[in-house]
């Protein structure tokens, strides 16, 4: 019986995580949006573009991050660093801090 093409070899499976793209999750629920979530998304896109990271880091809306009163909330992946009460002016420094190595 021939092995199915759905099966992967160990080397194929090990290589898959290396392609994990950096991601920023932004809460899209009402409390975070009322506290400036839309401005955070815009600031993230602008900062990623200005630092040349638009192709390496994805901004993705997400559901509630369970910190509603501390919104807007974001999570930087893959290290799962959370930020609450974030202001748009803080975004460029966070991008530089967390994703400077992605650029290289």
pLDDT in tens, 14-45: 444 445 689 999 999 999 999 999 999 999 99
pLDDT in tens, 37-55: 999 999 999 999 999 998 8
pLDDT in tens, 79-93: 999 999 999 999 999
Q: Domain boundaries in the chain?
A: 20-103
How far is residue 39 from each of residues 19, 77, 102, measured CA to CA in Å?
29, 20, 24
* Type and span of the H or E element at 37: helix 37-50
Record the pTM: 0.76
Strand partners, 102: none
* Pairing between β-strand 57-62 and β-strand 22-27 as defined by DSSP bridges: parallel
Residue 74 sits at φ, ψ, to 5 deg, of -135, 155
- The DSSP secondary structure of 9-40, one letter per residue, reads -HHHHHHGGGGPPEEEEEE-SHHHHHTTHHHH
85: left (phi over 0), alpha (psi -120 to 50) or beta: left
Q: Which CATH superfamily is domain 20-103 in?
A: Glutaredoxin (3.40.30.10)
């Amino acid at each position: 019986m021939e092995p199915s093409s759905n099966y992967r070899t160990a080397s194929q499976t090990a290589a898959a995580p290396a392609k994990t793209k950096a991601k920023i999750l932004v809460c899209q629920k009402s409390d975070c949006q009322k506290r400036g979530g839309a401005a955070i998304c815009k600031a993230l896109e602008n900062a990623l573009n200005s630092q040349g990271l638009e192709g390496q880091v994805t901004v993705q809306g997400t559901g509630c991050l369970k910190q509603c009163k501390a919104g807007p909330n974001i999570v930087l992946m893959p290290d799962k660093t959370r930020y609450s009460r974030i202001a748009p002016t803080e975004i460029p420094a966070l991008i530089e801090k967390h994703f400077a190595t992605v650029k290289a």
